[in-house]
C-alpha cells in the first residue's frame, strides 16, 4: 500500500502558509485581497442601513458571540459592522452572494442581496477574527469566561476586500437515519458544521426498510423504540434551527423499494422478509410496496400531504433506487414495467399537487424518462457526466468519490461494496461539472454516535468544491486542518486532517531531519520515508 502511494508529492508538507494568510477561510472566497496591518477587535455592533431582515437580525445576535468563540474578550471597545441588505426575507436562498470590506480602521462594511447572503459574510468575518493566544476548544467548552484569562482578538492583514458567491446552488449532505438512529443533538451539530462551511442542503433519508422513525398519523410507525422516533415537534424545531443556519431540509421517502418499515399497513408490502434475501432485495430486510394495489397510492398521497406540512421545502425526494424485479415477478401478476411506470407517474402527480419538485435516484431512468424532476446520481462519476450530457438536472453523489461510508466495512463484517475509503483528498479532487447540485452521502449501517466525526472534515472538502473555489489539494491541506480545529470551538467534533505535530509546521521540518543516504530504485531515503509518512497520514482519513 505504501509503495502504491510513494509517488505522492511530499512537498505539500512545506506549505506552512496557504494562499490565504494564516491558513484562514473555508471555503476560500471567490475574490479577495488583503493588506499587512493587524487590527484589534473585541466586540461588534451591527447597524442596518438597508432592508430590515429578521433572519439576519437573529443570526447577528448569535454571531456577536460566535465571532469570539476561540477565547474570552473582556474589553468593551466596540467595532461597528454596517450591514446593507437590498431584498426582503421572502426568498432567502435566491442569492447567497456578499461583499465584505474590513478596513484597518473604521466601520466594517457588509453588503448583500439577501439576509442569507449577509449571514454568509458574517461567517467569513468570524473566521478572520483570531485570538493572539488561543485557548484549546476543550477548555473553552468546560470553563466559563470568568475562569479564563482575557483574550486579545485581531483581524490580521487588513484591509480585506472580499467579493464572494457560490458556484453551485445546491450544496449538501445526504444522511440515512433509518439503519441507525441519529440523535436530534447530533443533527443540530451537523447543521452547525454545515453553517460554518456554507453548505445549504440537508437531504434527510429519514426512513428505509429498517425503521420508520417518524411521527405520522397516516402510516403506523415501525421504529426501534419510541425514543428513536422524530416527533412532529422535533421536525419543526430541526427545520427552524437548520434554516437559521442557512440549511434547507429535504426529506426522502424512498419508494417503492426499501419499504418494509411500512408493513403496519394491510396489503401494502410484498416480499416482506423473504429469503434468501439476496434474491429479493439489495439489502435485508426485504420489502417493497405492492404497486399492483392502486389503493396504496391513496395512502401515499395522504402521507405526502401530511409530511408536506412539516417539511416545507419546495423539493421532496422519492427515492426509487434498487427496485428488485425478481421480488415483483415472484409476487405480482401482470406487466411489472407498466406498473412501475404508472406508480412513478402518480408519484410525480402527488408531488406536484403538494407544490413539490420531485427528486429521484438515477435508477428511476431505467423505468421512466423523468423530465420534470431532479436526478441524483450515485453510480459513479462517469454516470454523473453522462446524465449531465443528456441535459438532465443532476445532483452529483458518486459512490466512487463522495460515499463516506465506503471502506469502513459492511453490516456482515466484510469489506464494503464501494471500497476503498474516501479520504478528504479523494472528496476534494472530484470536480463535478454542469450539475444542479452535489451531496456527499453517508449510509449508517455501522455509524451512529460517531456520525459527526465520520462526516467531517471530509464533507468540508466537498463544501469548497461546491462553492467553486477548490484548487490544489496541497495548498488546501493547512487551511482544512485549521478550519477543522476552528469548528471545535463551536462544539463540533470534526476529525483531524493530520497529527498535532503538523499543525504548527512540524511536518515541514521533516526533510531536514530524515537521513539522506541513497535507497533502492534510485530513491533517496528522504523521499521514500516522506512518501511512507504521507501514505500513513492519508490512510487515516
Residue 179 shares a structural domain with residue 58: no
Q: CB neighbours of 228 closer than 8 A, spacing ≥ 6?
A: 181, 211, 213
The answer to whether residue 231 is domain-embedded is yes
Is 483 found in the same domain as 369?
no
Q: Are residues 105 and 176 in the same domain?
A: no
Same structural domain for residues 486 and 464?
no
Cβ atoms within 10 A of the Cβ of 378, count? 23
pLDDT tens digits for range 478-512: 899 999 999 999 999 998 898 887 776 666 665 44
Question: What are the φ/ψ torsions at residue 361 (nearest 5 degrees)?
Answer: -70, 160
Q: Distances in Å between the alpha carbon of 116 and those of 55, 101, 340, 370, 433?
A: 8, 17, 40, 32, 25
For residue 12, is it within any domain? yes
Same domain, 136 and 254: no
Is residue 287 in a domain?
yes
- Joined grid coordinates for residue 426: 479523494
**352 and 420 both lie in a single domain:** yes
In a domain, 268, yes or no: yes
Residue 21 placed within a domain? no
339 and 252 housed in the same domain: yes
Separation of alpha carbons 447 and 519, rounded Å:
43
Name the catalytic one among 195, 283, 322, 523.
322
Of 470, 503, 526, which marks where a domain is finished?
470
- Give the domain-ending residue among 131, 164, 197: 164
* Structural domain span for residue 4: 1-16+472-541
Spatial distance between the Cα atoms of 209 and 327, rounded to a whole number of angstroms: 15
195 is catalytic: no
Place of cell 451531496: 439
* DSSP secondary structure of 137-163: HHHHTTS-GGGSPPPPEEEEEE-EEEE
Q: What is the CATH number of the domain that holds 321?
A: 3.20.20.80
Shared-domain flag, residues 405 and 519 = no
Do 431 and 400 touch, CB atoms closer than 8 A?
A: no
Give the model's pLDDT for residue 523. Answer: 36
Condensed to tens digits (0 to 9), the pLDDT of residues 250-289 reads: 999 999 999 999 988 889 999 999 999 999 999 999 999 9
- The CATH number of the domain holding residue 105 is 3.30.379.10
Low-confidence ranges of the chain (pLDDT < 70): 1-17, 504-541
Nearest of 514, 520, 519, 516 to residue 533 by alpha carbon: 514
For residue 512, the model assigns a pLDDT of 47
CA distance linking residue 222 with residue 362, whole number of Å: 27
> Cis bond leading into 77, ω under 30°?
no
- Partnered with residue 250 across adjacent β-strands are 203
Residues 44 and 188 in one domain: no
Do the Cβ atoms of 247 and 300 come closer than 8 Å? no
CB atoms within 10 A of CB 147: 9
Q: Is residue 23 part of a domain?
A: no
Which among 410, 441, 470 is the end of a domain?
470
Same domain (yes/no): 266, 303: yes
Name the 3-class secondary structure at 316: strand
pLDDT at 510: 58
Mark whether 146 and 230 lie in a shared domain: no
Task: Tally the C-alpha atoms within 13 A of residue 387's C-alpha that lie toward its C-beta.
Answer: 29
Report yes or no on 340 lying in a domain.
yes
Same domain, 45 and 177: no
Q: Is 82 within the bounds of a domain? A: yes
**Chain centre to alpha carbon of residue 439:** 7
Per the structure, the count of domains in the chain is: 3
User: How far apart are the C-alpha atoms of 424 and 453, rounded to whole Å?
Assistant: 12
pLDDT for residue 10? 46
- Buried b / exposed e across 108-135, counting CB within 10 Å, b at 16+? bbbbbbbbbbbbbbbbbbbbbbbbeeeb
Amino acid at each position: 500500500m505504501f509503495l502504491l502511494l510513494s509517488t505522492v508529492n511530499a512537498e505539500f508538507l512545506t506549505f506552512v502558509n496557504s494562499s490565504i494568510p494564516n491558513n484562514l477561510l473555508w471555503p476560500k472566497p471567490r475574490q479577495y485581497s488583503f493588506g499587512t496591518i493587524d487590527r484589534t477587535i473585541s466586540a461588534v455592533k451591527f447597524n442596518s442601513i438597508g432592508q430590515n431582515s429578521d433572519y439576519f437580525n437573529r443570526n447577528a445576535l448569535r454571531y456577536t458571540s460566535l465571532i469570539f468563540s476561540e477565547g474570552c474578550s473582556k474589553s468593551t471597545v466596540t467595532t461597528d459592522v454596517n450591514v446593507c441588505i437590498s431584498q426582503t426575507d421572502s426568498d432567502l436562498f435566491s442569492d447567497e452572494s456578499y461583499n465584505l470590506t474590513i478596513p484597518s480602521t473604521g466601520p466594517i462594511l457588509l453588503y448583500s442581496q439577501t439576509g442569507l447572503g449577509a449571514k454568509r459574510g458574517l461567517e467569513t468575518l468570524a473566521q478572520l477574527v483570531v485570538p493572539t493566544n488561543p485557548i484549546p476548544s476543550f477548555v473553552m467548552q468546560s470553563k466559563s469566561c470568568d475562569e479564563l484569562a482575557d483574550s486579545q482578538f485581531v483581524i490580521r492583514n487588513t484591509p480585506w476586500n472580499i467579493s464572494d458567491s457560490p458556484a453551485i446552488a445546491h450544496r449538501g449532505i445526504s444522511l440515512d437515519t433509518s439503519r441507525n438512529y441519529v440523535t436530534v443533538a447530533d443533527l443540530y451539530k451537523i447543521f452547525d458544521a454545515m453553517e460554518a462551511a456554507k453548505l445549504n442542503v440537508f437531504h434527510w433519508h429519514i426512513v428505509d426498510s429498517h425503521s420508520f422513525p417518524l411521527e405520522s398519523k397516516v402510516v403506523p410507525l415501525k421504529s426501534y423504540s419510541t425514543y428513536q422516533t422524530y416527533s412532529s415537534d422535533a421536525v419543526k424545531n430541526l427545520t427552524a434551527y437548520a434554516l437559521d443556519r442557512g440549511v434547507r431540509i429535504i426529506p426522502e421517502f424512498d419508494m417503492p423499494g426499501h419499504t418494509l418499515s411500512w408493513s403496519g399497513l394491510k396489503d401494502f408490502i410484498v416480499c416482506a422478509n423473504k429469503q434468501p434475501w439476496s434474491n429479493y432485495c439489495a439489502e435485508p430486510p426485504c420489502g417493497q410496496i405492492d404497486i399492483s394495489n392502486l389503493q396504496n397510492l391513496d395512502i401515499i398521497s395522504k402521507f405526502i400531504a401530511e409530511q408536506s406540512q412539516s417539511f416545507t421545502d419546495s423539493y421532496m425526494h422519492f427515492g426509487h433506487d434498487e427496485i428488485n424485479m425478481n421480488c415483483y415477478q415472484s409476487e405480482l401478476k401482470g406487466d411489472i414495467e407498466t406498473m412501475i411506470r404508472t406508480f412513478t407517474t402518480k408519484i410525480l402527480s402527488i408531488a406536484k399537487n403538494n407544490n413539490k419538485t420531485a427528486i429521484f435516484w438515477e435508477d428511476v431512468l431505467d423505468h421512466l424518462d423523468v423530465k420534470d424532476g431532479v436526478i441524483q446520481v450515485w453510480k459513479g462519476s462517469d454516470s454523473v457526466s453522462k446524465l449531465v450530457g443528456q441535459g438532465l438536472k443532476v445532483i452529483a453523489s458518486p459512490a466512487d468519490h463522495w460515499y463516506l461510508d465506503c471502506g469502513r466495512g459492511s453490516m456482515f463484517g466484510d469489506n464494503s461494496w464501494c471500497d476503498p475509503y474516501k479520504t478528504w483528498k479523494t472528496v476534494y479532487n472530484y470536480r463535478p461539472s454542469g450539475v444542479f447540485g452535489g451531496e456527499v452521502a453517508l449510509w449508517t449501517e455501522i455509524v451512529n454516535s460517531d456520525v459527526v466525526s465520520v462526516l467531517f472534515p471530509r464533507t468540508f472538502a466537498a463544501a469548497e468544491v461546491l462553492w467553486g473555489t477548490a484548487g490544489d489539494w496541497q495548498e488546501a491541506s493547512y487551511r482544512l486542518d485549521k478550519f477543522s480545529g476552528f469548528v471545535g470551538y463551536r462544539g463540533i467534533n470534526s476529525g483531524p486532517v493530520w497529527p498535532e505535530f503538523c499543525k504548527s509546521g512540524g511536518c515541514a521540518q521533516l526533510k531536514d531531519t530524515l537521513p539522506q543516504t541513497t535507497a533502492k530504485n534510485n530513491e533517496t531515503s528522504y523521499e521514500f520515508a516522506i512518501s511512507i509518512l504521507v501514505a500513513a497520514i492519508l490512510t487515516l482519513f
